[in-house]
Structure 1
Amino acid sequence: MNDYEGINSAQPDRTSIQGHDVTESAPLLANRNLTQGSPGASFGSSVFNLMNAIMGSGILGLAYAMASTGIIGFCILLIIVASLASYSIHLLLKMCDQTAITSYEDLGLRAFQKPGKVLVASTILIQNIGAMSSYLFIIKSELPTAIAGFLSGDQSGDPWYLDGRTILIITAVCIVLPLALLPKIGFLGYTSGISFLFMVYFVIVIIIKKWSVPCPLPQNVTVSYSQFSNSSDCVPKLFAISSKSAYAIPTMAFSFLCHTSVLPIYCELRRPSKSRMQKVANTGIAFSFLMYLVSAIFGYLTFFDEVDSELLQGYGQYLPHDVVIMTVRISILLAVLLTVPLIHFPARKAFIMLCFPGRPFSWLIHIVVTIGLVTTIVLLAIYVPDIRNVFGIVGATTSTCLLFVYPGLFYLKISSESFRSLQKLSALALLVFGVCVGVLSLSLIISNWVESQ
């Protein structure tokens, strides 16, 4: 059995587990079946894996979200989204404890039979394809610039190593594909730790470089820093509401979504239990929240209203040959690149559950589906015009469903508690919040597109 595919599809009876605490025994049995005698992933490795699933391209779009909502408005929204993300994971783990199911798709099956399972698998597939394509979009747009920054003199012609599409294909084939073909998600714990260190370095540089970019910003950066734009405003906004604000919450939801990886990480956790996995989730979300907040604040205070939807592009424009910026660009690119295989695991699992339900593990299917998914996200990354579109659409639809709507809806359906219980009322509030956020954000984003046309 591989990639936790088919685990607990038969939904074992709770009464058959005797003499043990059900909170620990149900996931533990699934973990033993999966790892086949291996000790499982450590607490630290699981936290790194979860943080790697949380932190990716989203960190580059949060400064733009802050510019659209203001500092205080952004902080309030970020706290709300992070808290709700932790609470929705709590609901997922509690449902796993009650049903002995360790698969998001099988929770959908338990709640609404086969349509529920198909809906969840389709949502996961679309969400993770959108996430991976956004990561590769950054590779396509930033890696050639990073390479050019280390080259001296003018490059004659149009060399292949400065072409984003060519570089994207090479990195996908040489790095993403081999890591995505690994049989277990726990193997990526080491790459997740490296990715986390890259993210920490990125945040530190964002803080330091806040004082290297002048304000007001130079109007013509190719001439000198003596010409400044008179329209630039260097006073930070505490609250702001505009048409751009529609991208704020979807971007945050996109940035905190790790729910498709939570249950697979739970399956491979050493000494698995609901409380232990909840500590993993809370630790990962807390560290991610801190790094998101710091990078967004200093990124916004560097460029103010001129901040780009992809933060690194601003540094590339105003500090094109800064050695530290070039190294941090490479670091964030490697961090994002190492996240793609981790997001690929639940996407492949969802696709196999949709197209090959009930089939035993096959290396042929495993390899063919992996190659097909990697090819798809490469093509999307090549033809997507703006990363903000990915954050907005994916965040307003699939991210809000997986983060807010499905955990609340499934808990209302599966749990045997009274509907007036605090837990079910909280699940209902989470469901209503997710629906409202998704509908409102998607409507505003579509309206902005129509106006821009």
Structure 2
Amino acid sequence: MGGGVTERLPEGSEPLLPTKREDGGGSGEFNGASFAGAVFNLSTTIVGAGIMALPATMKVLGLVPGLVMIVLAALLTDASIELLVRFSRVVGAPSYGAVMGDAFGWWGRRLLQVCVVVNNIGVMIVYMIIIGDVLSGTSSGGEHHYGVLEGWFGTHWWNGRFFVLLVTTLVVFTPLACLKRVDSLSYTSAISVALAVVFVIITAGIAIVKLIKGQIPMPKLFPDVPDLASVWELFTAVPVLVTAYVCHYNVHPIHNELKDPCQIKPIVHTSLVLCSTVYITTSFFGYLLFGESTLSDVLANFDSNLGIPYSSVLNDAVRVSYAVHLMLVFPMIFHALRLNLDGLLFPSSRPLSSDNRRFAVMTVLLLLVIFLSANFVPSIWDAFQFTGATAAVCIAFIFPAAITLRDPHSISKKWDKIISIFMIVLAIVSNVVAVYSDAYSMFHKKSSPSIA
């Protein structure tokens, strides 16, 4: 068994650094990542753009079922990661790809890497589009929505979409993407999580003030289901919830850099509790604040008068904090993208961290592709609505469940297999609903696509 794992390691499945004691950046000895740093990095991987779609799920499901579903999604994610880590330890696998390779061979590893590449490229293009929308504005349906910089300084060449995204890529994304260790991002991840909390605090504060003033009606606690079509609409919230906690592709890189690898379990639990708290409060207060006017991207609701003093200042604070949050999430997703793409293209080469030329070329090319796609290929959003949702549920649920059911080392328990079957069924239903709803939206020319 040990020889088989050793044979597979060169096939692009290495962690960003092969061992936690090496330092590919030449900045001295690395003694392992801390518990807090690992929690922030994993939490940042989880909390991205999807947070803005959650209040709209409350509008569809009602507060009670919606909040319960957020908790259940967290518990299911915890179970899938636990299965992944357990099977990794049996074979000493250093990456998600290595576990898939152990269970399903060459094609299993490649399928996982393709899914991570597709998912992460799509996610980062969407992040860049949102950052451009927030800072430089966007035009849709003949109407222009002013960005924060346009609102502050007026329309100029230097606050146009292309230039703002170019500066963001060169000044923010490139330096962070050049860091070779995931743990090097722990401070920016902490800031990113803090900014997500700032968004929650502002939203909650506005909702509480309006609640005290009696300006908020009683929210819908349960869904309205007057007919069969309404029942079908409930399922459109499933893809948002199922993909809300996708972080599995970064579990191994974070685990490999820990001072104490046994801490991965409490790190996962802590991150899921933290992210669930952010999700629950965002969903509750976002829906409470905007009610049935809640848009599929609640950030779009912060583009008008909130009906309280300093409304424009609070709107800008929400949008700027969220744009910076996405900027700091970007490099965490980028690390996993680069590692998995390297595994696909150079399966027999030495670890990426020890080949500076390959590392630099791949970093530059990926940033260039993402930048150009976000600026010049608007229809790519529609494409990733299909592929992104499919790849995400494969990474989060289908692959861990498939490994468990295949059980190459006979360590699965009966309960593990029951949970795995449930995960696969949920993932398939989620995919069917996501594809159908996206296709329906596209063919009926809905004005703005959902972030989910």
**How much is the aligned-residue C-alpha RMSD, in angstroms?**
3.0
- Does 2:238 match 1:249? yes
The structural deviation recorded for 1:415 is 4.2
Q: Write the mapping of 1:159-170 to structure 2, written as runs, cut at 5 A.
A: 159-170=156-167
Which of 272, 281, 286 is equivalent to 2:273?
A: 286
Answer yes or no: is the 8 Å Cα contact 2:242–2:427 preserved in 1: no
Separation in structure 2 between the aligned mates of residue 418 and residue 295 of structure 1, nearest angstrom: 39
Which of 315, 323, 329 is equivalent to 2:319?
A: 329
Give the alignment's TM-score, normalised by structure 1. 0.82
Describe the SS at the equivalent of 2:405.
helix
Q: Which moved more, 1:360-369 or 1:383-392?
A: 383-392
The structural deviation recorded for 1:143 is 1.4
Letter paired with 1:278: K
Q: Write the mapping of 1:300-449 to structure 2, written as runs, cut at 5 A.
A: 300-319=287-306, 322-360=312-350, 361=352, 362-382=355-375, 392-394=385-387, 396-417=389-410, 421-449=414-442
Letter paired with 2:53: G
Distance 1:316 1:211, change over 3 A: farther
Distance 1:411 1:180, change over 3 A: same
Find the counterpart in structure 2 of residue 239 from structure 1.
223
Answer yes or no: is the 8 Å Cα contact 1:56–1:339 preserved in 2: yes
Distance 1:392 1:259, change over 3 A: same
Q: Which moved more, 1:316-325 or 1:421-430?
A: 316-325
Percent sequence identity over aligned pairs: 26
Deviations 1:260-307 (A, max 9, x none): 11111001111112xx20110111011101111111111112222222
Deviations 1:67-126 (A, max 9, x none): 222222312321221111111100110011111002111112111111111100000001
Describe the SS at the equivalent of 2:7.
coil
Letter paired with 2:348: G
The structural deviation recorded for 1:394 is 4.9
Answer yes or no: is the 8 Å Cα contact 1:124–1:346 preserved in 2: yes
Q: Write the mapping of 1:139-218 to structure 2, written as runs, cut at 5 A.
A: 139-144=131-136, 145-151=147-153, 155=154, 158-210=155-207
Separation in structure 1 between the aligned mates of residue 246 and residue 98 of structure 2, nearest angstrom: 19
Q: Which moved more, 1:343-352 or 1:34-43?
A: 34-43
Letter paired with 2:187: Y
Find the counterpart in structure 2 of residue 265 from structure 1.
254
Describe the SS at the equivalent of 1:424.
helix
Find the counterpart in structure 2 of residue 277 from structure 1.
264
Distance 1:338 1:247, change over 3 A: farther
Find the counterpart in structure 1 of residue 144 from structure 2.
none
Answer yes or no: is the 8 Å Cα contact 1:247–1:445 preserved in 2: no
Separation in structure 2 between the aligned mates of residue 391 and residue 203 of structure 1, nearest angstrom: 27
Q: Aligned residues, how many? A: 409
Deviations 1:145-197 (A, max 9, x none): 2223434xxx3xx4123322321121012110111111111100011111111
Deviations 1:344-391 (A, max 9, x none): 011001111111111123222211211222122223333575999588
Answer yes or no: is the 8 Å Cα contact 2:132–2:164 preserved in 1: yes
- Does 2:19 match 1:31? yes
The structural deviation recorded for 1:318 is 2.5
Distance 1:386 1:208, change over 3 A: farther
Separation in structure 2 between the aligned mates of residue 86 and residue 161 of structure 1, nearest angstrom: 45
Separation in structure 1 between the aligned mates of residue 403 and residue 159 of structure 2, nearest angstrom: 48
Deviations 1:201-241 (A, max 9, x none): 11000011225679xxx9xxxxxxxxxxxxx9875352154
Find the counterpart in structure 1 of residue 121 from structure 2.
129
Separation in structure 2 between the aligned mates of residue 9 and residue 126 of structure 1, nearest angstrom: 28
Distance 1:132 1:254, change over 3 A: farther
Letter paired with 1:167: V
- Does 2:50 match 1:62? no
Answer yes or no: is the 8 Å Cα contact 1:34–1:268 preserved in 2: no
Deviations 1:387-414 (A, max 9, x none): 9958853553011111110001012224
Answer yes or no: is the 8 Å Cα contact 2:100–2:112 preserved in 1: yes
Letter paired with 2:32: G
Distance 1:188 1:291, change over 3 A: same
Separation in structure 1 between the aligned mates of residue 209 and residue 299 of structure 2, nearest angstrom: 14
Letter paired with 2:89: D
Separation in structure 1 between the aligned mates of residue 372 and residue 53 of structure 2, nearest angstrom: 22
Give the alignment's TM-score, normalised by structure 2. 0.82
Distance 1:96 1:204, change over 3 A: same
Separation in structure 2 between the aligned mates of residue 211 and residue 149 of structure 1, nearest angstrom: 27
Answer yes or no: is the 8 Å Cα contact 1:254–1:391 preserved in 2: no
Unaligned stretches of 5+ in structure 2?
Answer: 10-14, 137-146, 225-229, 447-452
Separation in structure 2 between the aligned mates of residue 113 and residue 84 of structure 1, nearest angstrom: 26
Answer yes or no: is the 8 Å Cα contact 1:132–1:377 preserved in 2: yes
Distance 1:368 1:253, change over 3 A: farther
Distance 1:325 1:260, change over 3 A: same
Which of 102, 118, 143 is equivalent to 2:110?
A: 118
Distance 1:412 1:325, change over 3 A: same
Find the counterpart in structure 2 of residue 40 from structure 1.
32
Separation in structure 1 between the aligned mates of residue 130 and residue 79 of structure 2, nearest angstrom: 30
Answer yes or no: is the 8 Å Cα contact 1:396–1:439 preserved in 2: no
The structural deviation recorded for 1:420 is 6.6
